[in-house]
Amino acid sequence: MKLLYQTHSPYARKILVAMHEIGLADRVEVIHHETSPTRRNEAVYALNPLGKVPVLIGEDGFALFDSVAIADYLSTLPGGSILIPSGGNARWETLRLQAAAQGIADSGIVVRWETERRPEPLRWPAMRDAQLQKIIAACDFAENEASLEGLPRIGEIALATTLDWIAFRNVYPFAEGRPRLAAWYAGYCQRPSMQATAFSGETHD
């Protein structure tokens, strides 16, 4: 298999960490691709009409895109059942946590656009502040309600990689005032899967 990847994408890293956790990392060729809403990457567009990574190319050549869809696929492979439990509250909790993490990443990207990526005269502070409120609320949810455990489920993986991206990009100090989330994040970052996939690189618009 091949994984079209970007070294500073929280979505792509979620998939790579998941692959490490289920023992697939040595079976996947990871290919870095720079993507941006303003710069067209033809190799990525050829496989994903949205022009985004991650894209997983199976051994049969089938290209699957979007990190949620890829995570669902990985859960069907041998060993992948640990990512998404088959039923019960554990299934819905990890999918809900993945959704919260996805939302944090989505809002974090908007915050970056409105603070540093968009030309300064075009920045919209009200949008930045509204998206920060979403991040704050989702982090409060993780602190107070999420069943945080050091498990290799997709919810925990998504939250850890997203928070690490938030820290990497200095988007929001999520650890302040959230001792439970801060301790969980610090512990999760020690997992070999996280250590092997650290963020690097800058965005090119």
Q: Are strands 2-5 and 55-57 parallel, antiparallel or unpaired?
A: antiparallel
Helix then strand then coil, % of the chain, to nearest 5: 55, 10, 40
* Domains 2-82 and 88-195 in one fold: no
> What topology does CATH give the domain 88-195?
Glutathione S-transferase Yfyf (Class Pi); Chain A, domain 2 (1.20.1050)
**Homologous superfamily of 2-82 in CATH?**
Glutaredoxin (3.40.30.10)
Whole-prediction pTM value?
Answer: 0.97
Tell me the CA distances in angstroms from 82 to 65, 111, 204, one per residue in order.
21, 33, 35
- In degrees and rounded to multiples of 5, residue 56 shows phi and psi of -105, 125
Tell me phi and psi for residue 12, to 5 degrees: -65, -40
- Average pLDDT of the chain is 97
Please list, in sequence order, all residues whose beta carbon lies within 8 angstroms of the beta carbon of residue 125, skipping any fewer than 6 positions away: 114
Cα dihedral value 69, 71, 75, 80, nearest 10 = 160
Closest CA to 160 of 25, 130, 28, 168: 168
Q: Specify whether the CB–CB gap between 18 and 94 falls below 8 A.
A: no
In the predicted structure, residue 147 carries a pLDDT above the cut 90: no
Per-residue pLDDT band at 145 (split at 50, 70, 90) = confident
pLDDT band with cut points at 50, 70 and 90 for residue 146:
confident
What are the residue ranges spanned by the domains of the chain? Answer: 2-82, 88-195
pLDDT tens digits, one per residue of 1-39:
999 999 999 999 999 999 999 999 999 999 999 999 999
The band of 110, judged by pLDDT with boundaries at 50, 70 and 90, is: very high
User: What are 158-191's pLDDT values in tens digits?
Assistant: 999 999 999 999 999 999 999 999 999 999 999 9
Beta bridge partners of 2: 29, 57
